[in-house]
Chain A
Amino acid sequence: MSAVNALRNAPTTEPGLLRAGVLALLVHIAFIALMVFGLNWKAQEPEGMVVELWQDLSQPIQAQQVPEPPPPPPPPEQQPDPVKEPVKQEPAPEPIRVAPPPPKKPDIPLKQETQKPEPVKEIKPDPEDLKKKEQERIEAEKQAKEKAEAERIQREKEAQRKREQEAQAQREAQQAAARARVMSEVAKYKAMILAKIKSRIVMPPDLPGNPVTEFNVTLLPGGDILDVKLRRSSGYGVFDSAVERAIHLSRPLPLPPDPALFNEFRNLNVTVHYLE
């Protein structure tokens, strides 16, 4: 009887209560981790333009003040700041270095001159018609001399032309570099202007889609705004007027300190996308 009772009471202790609990918790931790880290929960933000552009700003300010002198005239480039443009100084003196060689070059035609007469000398020993030959010889010599002269002149001309071409190529390269610098300057300031305007826009909420508005801004030297014209409406008056207000609010607009660049900014096209 007691055996049966023992059997009946046979404790049904489950083996892995704790183990099962730990495993269950592990499953949930894994699932939550998957949800948190596996999915990209961030809505795709358009790039924070304000932040990026202000980062840009620090570079232009340094770069501006130093290279400012170069853009207008190429000549001063030989003297300017030795720190900034060691590379550009090198090309400049080169034309001078190239100049000295020409005096040496004539040497070569002279040598040829002496070499050419030699075959004529060999003919000399012939006894008959000395005079004629003498004359011929003199004539030949003259011709040779003339030829050599002509060749020399031609060579000199070629050399000069080469030098000129080189110099021009250099000038062109310098100009291109200057132009590129100017363009990057202009682009930087245009971006800064756009950023300043955008920072002052109070966006009307809840416009459907991504409307675009375009303004033509006429600037005065110094960054003052003369005129703002709507070039292309977005179709939402609220948005257009918000942008126009922002343009007026952001005067004076940042302009490069170099007045030569102002022409690039006289008539500005300001394009603003709603979602940006």
Chain B
Amino acid sequence: MNTVVTQDLSLLYLISSASLPVQLVMLILLLVSVLSWWFIFRKLFVIRDAMKQTDEFEDHFWRGADLNALHQRATSSRHSPGSMERIFAAGFGEFSKHPPGTDIQSVMESTRRAMQATYQREMDTLESHLSFLATVGSVSPYIGLLGTVWGIMNSFRSLSNVAQATIAHVAPGIAEALIATAMGLFAAIPAVIAYNRFASDTEKLSTRFESFMEELTNVLQRRIAE
């Protein structure tokens, strides 16, 4: 009997009857959410692969394989090397380019620089898109909140024409506005969790790379001294 109470508050109805700014906010949030999930899954795969390859390469290296053979394998076109393998290949390639008898100091310097450069590049690719996840995690709740505030403002403004205000008048407007906040949170929560997880993973990888670089430097230096 009371038309407002018996109204159908389905999700699609609420979204389609929302005002344009709120709909825009919802669209942005949907896109952001899809994008952030896409990056989450991409990073998940990339970091998992990087960890696996690093484990494998360290295993090979410390089992005492021949450095030349390792370099051959890393630079062969058939094999797609992992990050640590590329760092090794860059360092060892630079090292072996120096003719024997060159100053140890300068050889080690240039080797270290080559490894450092590759390391920077590798870390760059590993950390790419992480900042996007961080942005989504911190900003999308605010975008959703903006949509909600706008929707609630509208639904309260429409109350001004009514003599007797009931909750039934405001409820649909608030419900539709709150969908924006829900979407914002839905985008933000996984993004924040994923960001924290991936940041700590890349941090771990980077310390492993750094310590490997130090160790390789030592190994190469001993090789020259011999």
A interface residue numbers (CB < 8 A to B): 3-4, 6-8, 10, 12, 14-17, 19-21, 23-25, 27-28, 31-32, 35-36, 39, 41-43, 45-46, 198, 201, 203, 205-208, 274-276
Contacts and interface: CB of A to CB of B under 8 A. Distances in A.
Given A6-B77, A35-B182, A275-B1, 17 more contacts: A3-B89, A7-B74, A14-B42, A20-B40, A20-B41, A21-B41, A23-B41, A24-B34, A24-B40, A43-B6, A45-B5, A198-B1, A201-B1, A205-B3, A206-B162, A206-B168, A275-B2
A28 B37 contact: yes
Contact of A43 (B9, B33, B37, B38): B9
B38 A20 contact: yes
B169 A206 contact: yes
15 contacts: A16-B45, A17-B42, A20-B40, A20-B41, A23-B37, A24-B35, A24-B40, A25-B34, A41-B8, A45-B5, A201-B1, A205-B2, A205-B3, A206-B166, A275-B2
Contacts, number: 104
Contacts of A205: 2-3, 164
B38 A24 contact: yes
Contacts of A31: 186
Contacts of B23: none
B41 A10 contact: no
Interface in B123-181: 125, 162-166, 168-169
**In the complex, which of the residues B77, B89, B125 has the most CB atoms of chain A within 10 Å of its own CB atom?**
B89
A46 B1 contact: yes
Contacts of A8: 121
A205 B90 CA distance: 79
Contact of A7 (B46, B118, B165): B118
Nearest to B167: A208
A119 B8 CA distance: 95
Nearest to A25: B34
A15 B42 CA distance: 8
Contact of B7 (A15, A43, A206, A207): A43
Query: Main SS of chain B's interface residues?
Result: helix
A92 B222 CA distance: 121
B20 interface: no
Interface footprint category on B: 35 or more
**In the complex, which of the residues B37, B90, B93, B125 has the most CB atoms of chain A within 10 Å of its own CB atom?**
B37
Given A6-B77, A42-B8, A19 B45 contact: yes
Contacts of B219: none
Nearest to A12: B125
Contacts of A28: 30, 33-34, 37
Nearest to A198: B1
Contacts of A35: 11, 182
**In the complex, which of the residues A17, A43, A198, A275 has the most CB atoms of chain B within 10 Å of its own CB atom?**
A43
Contacts of A7: 74-75, 81, 86, 89-90, 93, 118
B207 interface: no
Contacts of A46: 1, 6
Contact of A21 (B7, B38, B89, B125): B38
Contacts of A276: 1
Interface string B23-62: 0000000100111011111101110010000000000000
